[in-house]
Structure 1
């Protein structure tokens, strides 16, 4: 698979909803129902089961939906704007920048509210993503495989800075918890900021055609009258908002933005508008399945969902690299 985004197939255009999507929605709904029913606490037999169900199970399931859809959607937009199949918040350093912003707020404002932390994470994620995009525009890379490697290296540098600051300020444990990527602590009153990513999804859908055109390259986009730089700026802002919010509430969810868009693209082509429901749905399904595995594998303890996603994502990443090499 080449790194260049091809013209969207006309036969997929406009086919936003069909029976296959309805089947997929039914499968995802079944997974979410299973998530509501899975847990150590007996919500049906205990006297306060109903209250615990509302405090823990429902918020956690909603968080699975919002976080899974958001990170998958971020990967799709990033891949279009960079014309590269291997970029997403994890492979461009966006997540690490969000963590650095979160840490900076915690150090500078110890009693900062969740919303203040979110603002710091979003601003840092935006700056980091813009740095990556500017680097791509100024440096010509012959191979698309080099791009994610550069992003991972930049992310490693930022992560090292975060670790150094955490060591100096005695917040290393907190940093580890933030990057664990787990839904264990998601309860009522602590997840509501995730609803912001639903607004981001709406914004992405509204600007979907512009992102698709921008994905064909700056020259093409300019020739059809599109302000390429403005679209890149808007896309970067939306990616930063979604990544920052998810990082603050849930933590790091690696490779979702890499796995989902590539799988959907291989089946349906590259039109963002028609692919967006599928991308969101598959992102939700993968995160939910990984979370269910993490909850049940060593019950009553939990494995962070980021650990399972990391294993799955690494396997898919290697597969995509081999596929790229084979089809060039």
Structure 2
């Protein structure tokens, strides 16, 4: 309980700091006096950015823990299984395909990203199940190689269709363009998280292996398919709204599992708040490093997450 309370207090503190940090200072006296400019900055920029950070962090952390239970490996998340790279490829394909189908907007791009991400995750799971590595460290290594192939395909596709500039927006996560009216698609993460919690016990059993799941009367393939679909929805939504952010789904579930175990019904709320807190911290750091400019969160989260990932890999080797 003490650990949970500390995480929630840290989350509340980071939310407050996120609202106060920015190029334009907002004095609380202006808010209480009803200053139009102060309220506009808060409602049109700071609050939407805070909501986007929380939703993205929660979604990516929950995605990571679902993938880890499906693959039965602690080093797996969308960034190390090819899911993020496949979503980027899907968006790039939609940029050229959708004009021929008519203007279907963001929903069409999300559909392409979802299908590509889901297909890539299914292929990755089949590869891992077929090879059956004895060394758990090799599982994310295969995922990184698989993701590199998909990333190379995305770059080749973008280059051949002269849309390299469009690709840059999905290479690196960035919350600087989040304003009111341009982030609401992220609210699709809420039903995903609710379904993940409803299936938490089944995902926990899934992590025990196919034979154990079958002996307990759980449909392994159907449950895994639901989990992969939830992951694909979340990844496609986040890549479209804010870009690709790696390692969130790897770092947070690891830290929670070290202290609270692998029962998702108990740990999923902590995983969610931990993911949101990590992204909030990375975003605040990015806004302060070269103030008044900001470092994209894809760099700060990738740097911090990459160091932790390396430490976990070394720990797993030992």
Please tell me the TM-score bracket, short chain as reference.
over 0.9
Give the Cα separation in 2 of the matches to 1:33 and 1:42. Answer: 14
1:67 aligns with 2:59: no
Give the Cα separation in 2 of the matches to 1:22 and 1:318. Answer: 29
Give the Cα separation in 2 of the matches to 1:77 and 1:177. Answer: 27
Give the Cα separation in 1 of the matches to 2:263 and 2:202. Answer: 11
Residues 106 and 112 of structure 1 are in contact (CA less than 8 Å); yes or no, is this contact kept in structure 2?
no
Which structure 1 residue ranges, 5 or more long, are not aligned?
1-17
Superposition deviation, residue 19 in structure 1: 4.7
Residues 80 and 140 of structure 2 are in contact (CA less than 8 Å); yes or no, is this contact kept in structure 1?
yes
Give the Cα separation in 2 of the matches to 1:295 and 1:112. Answer: 34
Superposition deviation, residue 156 in structure 1: 0.7
1:251 aligns with 2:243: yes
Superposition deviation, residue 314 in structure 1: 1.4
Task: Report matched runs for 1:28-67 at 5 Å.
Answer: 28-44=11-27, 47-67=36-56
Superposition deviation, residue 49 in structure 1: 2.4
Task: Report matched runs for 1:252-291 at 5 Å.
Answer: 252-291=244-283
Helix, strand or coil for the counterpart of 1:48? helix
Q: TM-score, normalised by structure 2?
A: 0.94
Helix, strand or coil for the counterpart of 1:170? coil
Of 154, 158, 162, 1:162 maps to 154
Q: Report the equivalent of 1:4.
A: none
Superposition deviation, residue 82 in structure 1: 0.7
The count of residues paired between Structure 1 and Structure 2 equals: 309
Q: Report the equivalent of 2:199.
A: 207
Q: CA RMSD in A?
A: 1.3
Give the Cα separation in 2 of the matches to 1:311 and 1:19. Answer: 29
Give the Cα separation in 2 of the matches to 1:196 and 1:124. Answer: 18
Give the Cα separation in 1 of the matches to 2:164 and 2:292. Answer: 26
Residues 105 and 112 of structure 1 are in contact (CA less than 8 Å); yes or no, is this contact kept in structure 2?
no
Q: Report the equivalent of 2:225.
A: 233
Give the Cα separation in 2 of the matches to 1:154 and 1:260. Answer: 23
1:219 aligns with 2:211: yes
1:127 aligns with 2:119: yes
Q: Which runs of 4+ in 1 moved over 3 A?
A: 42-47
Q: TM-score, normalised by structure 1?
A: 0.91
Q: Report the equivalent of 2:164.
A: 172
